[in-house]
Amino acid sequence: MLSNGESDNVRLLRSKANRFFTILYSPITWIRSMALIEEEAALLRGKNLQLSFQVESMRYLLEENNRLEELLDFQRESKMTILPARVINMSASPYLSSSLSIDVGLESGVEENDPVITPKGIIGKTTIVGDNASIVQMINDVNFRLSVRIKPSGSTGIMRWLDGGLYLIKEVQKNANVNIGDKVVTSGFSDIFPNDLPVGEVVNITDERGRFQKSVVVQINENIGSIINLFVIVDQ
């Protein structure tokens, strides 16, 4: 009757009924709308996550491509005989023993105590060499020592790991003209490492109280934790 009647009273009753049912069902409509909005939001979050993964993957591929180009340029320009290698395993804590495994060994010409480098500088030396793999003692091993020279002053010292990416050169002469930003390279005094290989940069200088030396803090060029590709110097 409400749907088919055309009298004034019926139309009035129909209008009131519509308002009543509209008010009655408005919470249900709101709940359904919120459910749809939440479902759409979940789909959007999923798509956003997928896009984030794709962007990160593309960024990683770009960075990897840049690293490989840098490695190829370094290999072409190097005057030493260097062997490309790839990291296959890395130890967890420099407080115990910091080392990594690489995929080249005796069959590729690698020997014990061969220097290991990246285009950015020294990262360690081989310690155990197998037929097709080798263990590298890292520069941030607590027992690793490296004879270095600070440029342009020419001051020399023995560098060891301090903390994180920082390293310490002790007993540098107090009157040595060393400044923040000076470059640090290998000294050439070692039987293992040739001279003038890049190491890092001076970031802090502290006078040793009561002594005629000062301590120099160095930040190395390479990020040890992100190394994937490197080189072994097999002939100096």
Backbone region of residue 37 per phi and psi (left: phi > 0; alpha: psi in -120 to 50; beta: other values): alpha
Judgement on whether residues 191 and 121 belong to the same structural domain of the protein:
yes
As a whole number, the mean pLDDT across the chain is 80
Question: Is the peptide bond prior to 152 cis by the omega test (within 30 degrees of 0)?
Answer: yes
- Weakest mean pLDDT among 19-28, 31-40, 129-138, 201-210: 19-28
- Domain end among 77, 100, 123: 77
Distance CA 178, CA 151 (A): 8
What are 143-190's pLDDT values in tens digits? 999 999 999 999 999 999 998 889 999 888 888 899 999 999 999 898
Domain with 226, as residue range(s), is 81-236
Judgement on whether residues 61 and 111 belong to the same structural domain of the protein:
no
Q: What is the pLDDT of residue 116?
A: 94
Mean pLDDT calculated for residue range 4-20:
58
Q: Which residue has the higher pLDDT, 96 or 125?
A: 125
Judgement on whether residues 73 and 86 belong to the same structural domain of the protein:
no
Q: Give strand pairing partners of 183.
A: 151, 201
Asked if the model's pLDDT at residue 191 lies above 80, the reply is yes
Beta pairing, strands 134-138 & 155-163:
unpaired
Judgement on whether residues 195 and 88 belong to the same structural domain of the protein:
yes
What are 43-67's pLDDT values in tens digits? 777 677 666 656 666 665 566 666 6
pTM: 0.66
Distance CA 115, CA 204 (A): 27
- Domain end among 45, 77, 109: 77
Judgement on whether residues 117 and 224 belong to the same structural domain of the protein:
yes
Judgement on whether residues 119 and 141 belong to the same structural domain of the protein:
yes
Mean pLDDT calculated for residue range 117-121:
87
Q: Provide the CATH number for the domain around residue 103.
A: 2.40.10.340
- Domain end among 33, 49, 77: 77
Judgement on whether residues 6 and 111 belong to the same structural domain of the protein:
no
Residue with tokens 């390479």: 222
Q: What is the pLDDT of residue 2?
A: 43
Q: What is the pLDDT of residue 1?
A: 47
Report DSSP letters for 118-152, one per residue: ETTEEEEEEEEE-SS-EEEEETTSTT--EEEEEET
